[in-house]
Amino acid sequence: MQANVVNAEGRAVIRLQGRFDFNAHREFRGAVDEAMKGDVREVVVDLAGVDYLDSSALGMLLMLRDKTRSVNKAVTLTGSHGAVKQVLDIANFNKLFAIG
Amino acid sequence: MNTLLAEDAPDGCLHIRRELERYRALEEEERRIARHLIDRLIDLDKLRDPSLRHWLLSAAAFSGDLLAAARTPGGMLHVLLADGTGHGLSASINALPVAPPFYRMTEKGFGIDAIARELNVKTKQFLPVDRFVAATLAAVDFREGIVQVWNGGNPKPFFLDAAGNAERVFGRTHMALGILDDDEFDDAVETHAFGTGAQLILYSDGLLKAESLEDGMFGHDRLAATLAGASAEHRLDAVISAVTGHLGGQPARDDISVVLVDCVRGRQVAAERASAPATATATTTTSASGSWRLLLRLGTREVRTLDVVPMLLGLTGQFEGLGANAGQLFVVLSELYNNALDHGLLRLDSRLKLDPSGMEAWLDEREQRMAAINGEIEFDLEQFQEGARSWLRITCRDSGPGFDPAAVLSPGGQTEGGELPESLPFGRGVALLRSLCASLQYNEAGNAAIALMALGVEPHSAVK
């Protein structure tokens, strides 16, 4: 998986590409650290480029949620589709995240 | 009731009468509850399948013979004829554990081999060692014109030609349910392809043993003569009148049950109703593609170095009809593989992740253990047609010592209905699997998971 972060106007977008699973942990963590730097009010995880996502990815998203909550930042998931959207739905992530 | 309490009765007599009265009331109450339970567990509606006729004559108020029928999602007819040891209420109770798994598994499209195996496990688990259940399972595929039979301890079922003569006797007799351990159990079924079609007959030994004072037991010859002497339409009635005539007013000593299935090719009466339009479309695309099986064993080195899930996904993607399920399949394969690796072989504890820096600790620990890993993981993927639907059975086995499924299947307060624990950083994997698969089972040792996926349909419509 590839992750890149664009930081603009208090909004950090983490754009993920490829397979979001266990092996993506270090990239994702790095991206989260990057995104949380400075004066950011909102973190957006763009899943448009993600083909697959498994339960470890769900765990990582939950970690992100914990981190953002403890410093009063909002987090939004965008661009989920197909199998990725299905997994998020099954996991009831719409109750935990703003999904855009 | 009042008459028994007549004031002029002598004391001792009154006492006995009261005791008897109490005993009778107690027994009636027990019967009422038993009847209620039994009626609830047996779905009589499904026994009224248009392709099936049956007769059940109980030797006592409760029958030790149990009949059940149900359609698979693909419209195949499954029939179960079970005969619990003895007769009466205790025999009836003995036969009961087989009913719920029969319906449940049929509904999910399992084959009768898998059902027989499961019924054996359940029977062994529930019954005292001296009790067992003779059972015959039959599956009729009207579309393909194929009958499958698994028979454990009942008289040999047979297939009748149009004239009522035995065209095929299903001679392979297995041990009755509840005797053998799972690893000794033989689930081999016999298959018979019928031409234009006729009838399949299943029956309990009570039929052959029905005894007349003058002429002994009813027996095979009388049964064969009766079947050959009647038209298909009237064959069951002919059997009923022959047997009751033979008994000559004597009560039967054992429960008698008979099932006749009209096997007419292409007959889909209940099947059309059973399968939703959406699944019917999915079928046509896959039914022509046949079936395949893929076995993959990964040794220590492969487990350590290969990215297994994408590799498997690439392979399975080559088979027709899996494209629509690729996303679903990825999740199922990943979860199965990760569990086999992380918990089965590496013996990692998910609770590590609970710590604030838990994910890091988990990763470090995983890396360390990975370097010293020793074991193998095996995948067995089998695609098959079950009537109108295509299924994929995925078995993932690791060489680890296994886990206790009961303990792990309810992490973080996961509920029965498969709801996901929302706040814990683990425990979602198994819940995800359950949501995406028609069924998920573990072997007793806890080192193999068996997931069944319906292909070509949205997972939620397949589950519910």
Number of Cβ within 10 Å of residue A66's Cβ equals: 12
- Residue percentage of chain B with pLDDT more than 70: 83
Q: What is the mean pLDDT of chain B?
A: 80
Which has more pLDDT, B145 or B196? B145
Chain A residue numbers touching B422 (CB-CB < 8 A): 91-92, 95-96
What is the arithmetic mean of pLDDT over B148-158? 94
Give tens-digit pLDDT for B91-140.
Answer: 888 888 899 899 988 887 788 999 999 999 999 988 888 888 999 999 99
Q: Does B353 contact A59 at a Cβ distance shorter than 8 Å?
A: yes
Which has more pLDDT, B25 or B351? B25
∠ CA A86-A91-A93, nearest 5°, is 90
Dihedral sign computed on CA atoms, order B307, B310, B314, B315: positive
CA distance B337 to B451: 12
CA distance B27 to B19: 12
Torsion, Cα B243 B246 B247 B253, to 10 degrees, reads: -60
Please give the pLDDT value at position A17.
94
Chain A residue numbers touching B331 (CB-CB < 8 A): 52-55, 83, 87
Looking at residue B445, the DSSP 8-state letter turns out to be: T
CB B150 within 8 A of CB B185: no
With bands split at pLDDT 50, 70 and 90, how would you rate the model's confidence at B420? very low
Dihedral sign computed on CA atoms, order A22, A26, A31, A37: positive
Tokens of B166: 């035995």
Give tens-digit pLDDT for B35-55.
Answer: 777 777 777 777 888 899 999
Q: What is the mean pLDDT of chain A?
A: 89
What is the arithmetic mean of pLDDT over B426-438? 80
CA distance B148 to B190: 5
Pairing state between β B292-298 and B211-212: unpaired
What kind and span of H or E run contains B126?
helix B112-126
Q: Dump strand ranges (E) for B314-388.
A: 377-386
- Residue percentage of chain B with pLDDT more than 90: 27
Give tens-digit pLDDT for A33-71.
Answer: 999 988 899 999 999 999 888 888 888 898 898 889 888
Q: Count H helices, E strands: chain B?
A: 17, 17
CA distance B105 to B112: 9
CB of A48 within 8 Å of a chain B CB? The answer is: no
CB B435 within 8 A of CB A90: yes
Q: Name B164's Cβ contacts closer than 8 Å, sequence gap at least 6.
A: B199, B227, B228, B229, B230, B231, B232, B235
- ipTM, two decimals: 0.71
Q: Is A33 helix (H, G, I), strand (E, B) or coil?
A: helix
With bands split at pLDDT 50, 70 and 90, how would you rate the model's confidence at B417? very low
Q: How far is CA B400 from the centre of its chain?
A: 28
Alpha carbon of B271: minimum distance to chain A alpha carbons (Å): 30
pLDDT higher than threshold 90 for residue B148: yes
Chain B residue numbers touching A21 (CB-CB < 8 A): 309, 334
Q: What does residue A43 show for φ and ψ, rounded to 5 degrees?
A: -110, 130
CA distance B158 to B208: 14
Give tens-digit pLDDT for B228-250.
Answer: 999 998 999 999 999 999 999 88
With bands split at pLDDT 50, 70 and 90, how would you rate the model's confidence at B274? very low
With bands split at pLDDT 50, 70 and 90, how would you rate the model's confidence at B149? very high
Please give the pLDDT value at position B237.
94
Q: Name B341's Cβ contacts closer than 8 Å, sequence gap at least 6.
A: B303, B377, B398
Q: Does B334 contact A96 at a Cβ distance shorter than 8 Å?
A: no
- Among the ranges given (B145-159, B188-202, B423-437), the one the predictor scored with the smallest mean pLDDT: B423-437
Number of Cβ within 10 Å of residue B101's Cβ equals: 16
Chain B residue numbers touching A84 (CB-CB < 8 A): 327
What is the arithmetic mean of pLDDT over B397-406? 80
Q: Where are the alpha helices (DSSP H) in B372-426?
A: 405-408
Tokens of B427: 């425990």
Q: Does A83 contact B326 at a Cβ distance shorter than 8 Å?
A: yes
Q: Does A21 contact B435 at a Cβ distance shorter than 8 Å?
A: no
pLDDT higher than threshold 90 for residue B396: yes
Which has more pLDDT, B448 or B143? B448
Going by C-alpha positions, the residue among A45, A42, A52 that lies closest to residue A85 is A52
Q: How far is CA B322 from the centre of its chain?
A: 26
Please give the pLDDT value at position B457.
62
Searching chain B, which residue's CA lies closest to the CA of residue A19? B310
Going by C-alpha positions, the residue among A30, A51, A50, A45 that lies closest to residue A93 is A45
Pairing state between β B377-386 and B389-398: antiparallel
With bands split at pLDDT 50, 70 and 90, how would you rate the model's confidence at B7? low
